[in-house]
A and B are shown apart, each in its own frame.
Chain A
Amino acid sequence: MIFLDNLINGLSLGSIYAIIALGYTMVYGIAKMLNFAHGDIIMVGAYVAFCGLQYWGLPPVAAILVAMAVCTVLGILIEGLAYRPLRQAASLAVLITAIGMSYLLQNLALMIWGANPKSFPRTFINSFSIQLGQLNVSSATIVTILANIVIMVALSLFINQTKVGKAMRCVSEDRGAAELMGINVNRTISLTFAIGSALAAIAGVLLCSSYPILQPTTGSMPGIKAFTAAVFGGIGSIPGAMIGGVLLGVIEIFGKAYISTELGDAIVFAVLIVVLLVKPTGLLGKPIREKV
């Protein structure tokens, strides 16, 4: 009973990590950069949705759509202004820019929304719970897990079946060759950021529906954990991000429940290290073949 309860909590937390990790992994796969500001885009998405619900009186779905729209624009702007000028630069330079962007977003949020925490209002996402036998499952858990599955399937279809998706895969495989084939690399990368940021908005809403406190630093730790999850599953791989995220969530909850709450985070990271030692490119990562 307690075991099942923990399992469900783990799946719920893991699903949120997974959705965030999808954003990391997509951007990494296509733009070959770690977008450290991703966690902060989540925070912005959650704040916008909060404003929509609390101040503008929008219905939940509309609030989420507005948040997605704002984040999409924000993602494209960030990419265009800060990352595109560094397309030819070393990957570390881009990483530092992303870190700067993360600081910038956090401090802007502090200016705009203040330091006082906000509690995310109840919506259809987290307003009821379902009794399964003795098990009490909150709607936020169900919605999160469902959303995760839907997003993953949709994203896989999009990338594998559509023309734009094909272009993305091409850019990811070989940017130079893709350009020669007439693919607009810059536009493809922008699109990737747009999709990743829209997903971040959804992740933000789901995160704050399950764990309703919203502060300027809300996105940073889930962001780092999700980044870990993406690597865990094999960075660049969409099913990998999903599996990595869910596993990370479950391990975190089980570690806290059965070993020690004080060492919960240490346990997560220790498992990660062990997995990477056995499979150095993550669970589903492609082994890197080097040309000599």
Chain B
Amino acid sequence: MTKAKRKRLIYNLITFALVIAAFIILQSMIANKMISRSLKGQLVPICAWIVMAVSLNLVIGFSGELSLGHAGFMSVGAYTGAIISGWLLQVYEVQDTTLRLVLAMVAGGLIAGIAGVLIGIPVLRLRGDYLAIVTLAFGEIIRSLVNVLYVGVADGKLHFSFLNKNMPAGVSMLVDGAKGAVKIKPVATFTAGFVLILITLVVVLNLVNSRAGRAIQATRDNRIAAESMGVPVTKYKMMAFVTAAVLAGMAGALYGLNSSTVIPTQFTFNQSINVLVFVVLGGLGNVLGSVVSATLLTVLPEVLRAFADYRMLVYAIVLILVMVFTNNPTIRAFADRLFAPVKAIFRRSKKKTAGGDAQ
């Protein structure tokens, strides 16, 4: 086993260990009723946002393309999930909530994946900010379209209509235009969220560490060099983009089925930006970082409730300060000096065990 491989393995193990440990701790807290309602209510959304952040990191961090429409895939997943779950319940009378949730998530991922392919084909021909703006445009288009979508169940069949609400009599609406997906029976659970995070981590970490993953990162670092080495750049970028879309779709289904209603305005450009913030703050290409930052930044506004109306002001200031402090070379150098003794100890102990591959 090479050193690089060993290092990666350790990093992956730490990531999994931390996620599993967090799950076990939280589960035991729930079992012992040691958890506040507020935190308990946020668990499923946090899982969904973690998956969103990790999947977006695959596009931005590993593939190097700035996508500003990730919430669009989430909305596709959330709507698909709500429709499938409602359809299964009303037409086939599937009472098993786990089965409904799993099928809804699979369908959400599938449809979002198809959307990912359709969007990826034109988008990945572009570069840089142009690519960013086109993903933004797709995100907004998805939102406009969903806003005039009507889906209902009548006589054991699904009815779709677009722009105008043409529904047979006695219909039970699942998606009602601007009113969004309505009367969802919430079936999402924290355990399902946890499993989805594990799946996401397995998929993303495996992809990144595979031949395809190395090719993806090679195209990020130098597209021309990779191309001249015979790497089919577009194919691999597509792979990353669609994988991310599928995961976002599954996260969307989980998120949508956690609440009784979902509306198009929940998945705006601002939401895409939020996920982008998670990714950048956690570190590009750093999966564990995405997990941690998605969790912290979702909980932060809730912790700041004590500040009442000043809460989002404080959030904004924290965001700016964190960005400035973690990215400014002077401040970083200062911090490095400050932690140098600690690091030196760490490095020495590492040298003993791993044979000195630090730095």
Contact = CB atoms under 8 A, between A and B. Distances in A.
Given a CB threshold of 8 Å, the question of whether A touches B is answered with yes
A172 B67 CA distance: 25
Contacts of A263: 144-145, 148, 163
Nearest to A291: B224
Interface string B336-351: 0000000000000000
Contact of B141 (A99, A103, A270, A276): A270
Contacts of A290: 224
Interface string A248-292: 000000000000101101100110110011001110000010101
A18 B81 CA distance: 40
A90 B284 contact: yes
B91 interface: no
A100 interface: yes
Interface stretch (B39-47, B95-103, B126-134): B126-134
Contacts of B269: 224
A227 B315 CA distance: 25
B277 A260 contact: no
Contacts of A93: 280, 323, 326-327
B141 A266 contact: yes
Contacts of A180: none
A273 B138 contact: yes
Given A96-B277, A272-B137, A273-B138, A104 B147 contact: no
Contacts of A103: 312, 315-316, 319
B313 A107 contact: yes
Interface string A15-50: 000000000000010000010000000000000000
A99 B138 contact: no
Interface residues of A, number: 44
A231 B317 CA distance: 29
Interface string B208-220: 0000000000000
Nearest to A103: B316
A111 B328 contact: no
Interface in A65-106: 82, 85-86, 88-90, 92-93, 95-97, 99-101, 103-104
Given A86-B327, A269-B141, A92 B316 contact: no
A90 B64 CA distance: 12
B129 A235 contact: yes
B328 A282 contact: no
Given A92-B60, A93-B323, A265-B144, A107 B163 contact: no
B281 interface: yes
Contacts of B66: 92
A228 interface: yes
Which of B129, B276, B328, B331 neighbours the largest number of chain A CB atoms within 10 Å of its CB? B129
A273 B122 contact: yes
B352 interface: no
Given A96-B277, A228-B133, A276-B126, A265 B140 contact: yes
Interface residues of B, number: 47
B303 interface: no
A97 B277 CA distance: 9
B238 to A, nearest CB: 16
Contact of B313 (A96, A108, A227, A228): A108
B164 to A, nearest CB: 10
Nearest to A269: B137
Contacts of A231: 129-130, 133
B129 to A, nearest CB: 6
Contacts, number: 127
Nearest to A228: B133
Contacts of B224: 290, 292
Contact of B130 (A89, A107, A281, A292): A281
B50 interface: no
Given A89-B327, A265-B144, A280-B126, A101 B134 contact: no
B327 A100 contact: no
Nearest to A28: B129
Which of B127, B224, B327 neighbours the largest number of chain A CB atoms within 10 Å of its CB? B327
B320 interface: yes
A285 to B, nearest CB: 8
A192 B97 CA distance: 58
B84 interface: no
Nearest to A272: B137
Contacts of B323: 86, 93, 96-97, 100
A34 B130 CA distance: 12
Which of A28, A260, A265 neighbours the largest number of chain B CB atoms within 10 Å of its CB? A265
A33 B7 CA distance: 35
A101 B328 contact: no
A256 to B, nearest CB: 12
B127 A280 contact: yes
B125 interface: yes
B130 A82 contact: no
Given A100-B319, A273-B138, A260 B163 contact: yes
B26 interface: no
B297 to A, nearest CB: 11
A276 B134 contact: yes
Contacts of A262: 144, 147-148, 163
A107 B320 CA distance: 14
Contact of A276 (B60, B130, B145): B130
B136 interface: yes
A236 to B, nearest CB: 10
B137 A273 contact: yes
Given A100-B319, A269-B138, A86 B284 contact: no
Given A100-B319, A262-B144, 7 more contacts: A92-B66, A95-B280, A96-B323, A100-B320, A104-B313, A104-B320, A266-B140
16 contacts: A28-B129, A82-B324, A85-B330, A85-B331, A93-B323, A95-B276, A96-B280, A107-B310, A111-B310, A227-B133, A231-B133, A265-B140, A266-B141, A269-B141, A272-B134, A292-B225
What 5 A-B pairs come out closest when comparing CB atoms? A269-B137, A100-B319, A266-B144, A103-B316, A89-B327
